[in-house]
Amino acid sequence: MRIAITGAAGFLGQKLVARLCESGRLPTASTAETGADPAIAELALFDLCEPPEPEGAPFRVRTQAGDIADPAALTALLADGADVVYHLAAVVSSAAEADFDLGLRVNLDGTRALLEVCRRLPGPAPQFIFASSVAVYGGDLPEAVRDDTALAPQSSYGTQKAVCELLVNDYSRRGFIDGRVLRLPTIVVRPGRPNQAASSFASSIIREPLQGETAALPVPEDTALFVLSPRRVLDALCHAAAVPAEAFGACRSVMLSGVSVTVAEMIRALARVGGEEAVARIEQRPDPRIAAIVGGWPARFDTRKAARLGFTGDADMDAIVQAFVEDDMVPQAGH
């Protein structure tokens, strides 16, 4: 089995690489019927900067730096073919809002270029697993958003993701690819440092205080979010390959099962782990631009489709904080 991953230098890409290296196998819908999961033969990793090569991988690993919107670079990436393509490369929400042309080039043109290369691969259509976002929704929404609720994104990032979802569906309908679109909730708690994503604060207000650092809160505490831990996102990315194509129905998109929570509830979960000392490290720094973007995202979802397809979520916000402590927390000096 050959697997390609775009955005492989990002935090989620690196975690997916580590998970695949650990297992050495990836169950797919076709192999689920036989019960024999094929061993991974090759992992092709792609990003704007060359992705780090994992140590001790039990299979061949190729790394490549390039422009996601460059067909020649993508043709080279998939020169040996691919059974599964994970498309994680993207410009994050606030960056796509700040630079319209950059967002279009990476998020839309890059996805289209990758789809075209996949379309022309010899042999069976590859599985194409695309990371979409809760940002595809917006506007006048019902109390609980469903997978089939009309998409009305309120940001350029959300619009670009929504257009790509439609492309993945149409390429799948035509048999060019076997698409699976995962609409990701806000991922909490991301390891590392804050980035340009509008939702970056949602990780910072947990991550930094637990590690003895100050965190900025740019939105009101009554702001509601729909969140999911990196641990469960990785589970979903791997499980997506094992879901039969016909199980998705007419639409290849599915909203993953997250946790609906307010910022105030997130802070209370922080307090239960780090105490009031950790909470005191959060500083109120209102940012109307960030608040406007995040405020346009829905926070309550009906995720029965995800449950029917076998995707699972976190139990609650406490479980999400605990997952960070176990998987990614950097020990403080002297501890």
CA dist 291 → 94, 118, 138 (Å): 11, 38, 14
Output the pLDDT for position 296: 83
User: Alpha carbon of 335 to those of 264, 277, 332: distances in Å?
Assistant: 28, 16, 6
For residue 324, give the H/E element and its range. helix 317-327
The tens digit of pLDDT for each residue in 192-235 reads 887 777 889 999 999 999 999 999 999 999 999 999 999 999 99
Instruction: Note the pLDDT tens digit of each residue in 151-170.
Output: 999 999 999 999 999 999 99
Note the pLDDT of residue 32: 60
pLDDT at 295 over 90: no
User: What are the pLDDT digits (tens) for 240-269?
Assistant: 999 999 999 999 999 999 999 999 999 999
**CATH 3.40.50.720 applies to domain 2-184+229-255:** yes
Contact, 102 vs 108, CB < 8 A? Answer: no
Average pLDDT, the chain: 94
pLDDT for the residue 114: 98
Percentage of residues in the chain having pLDDT higher than 70? 97
Supply the pLDDT for residue 195: 75
Q: Using one digit for the tens of pLDDT, what is the confidence trace for 82-111?
A: 999 999 999 988 889 999 999 999 999 999
The residues pairing with 215 across neighbouring beta strands, listed in sequence order, are 282
Q: Taking the complete model, does pTM exceed 0.75, yes or no?
A: yes
- Catalytic residue IDs: 157
pLDDT at 335 over 50: no
List the domain boundaries for the chain: 2-184+229-255
Closest to 274 (Cα-Cα) out of 227, 218, 322: 322
Q: Quick one: average pLDDT of 41-53?
A: 97
Q: Distance between CA atoms of 269 and 275, rounded to whole angstroms?
A: 9
**pLDDT value for 35:** 64
Which DSSP state fits 331? P
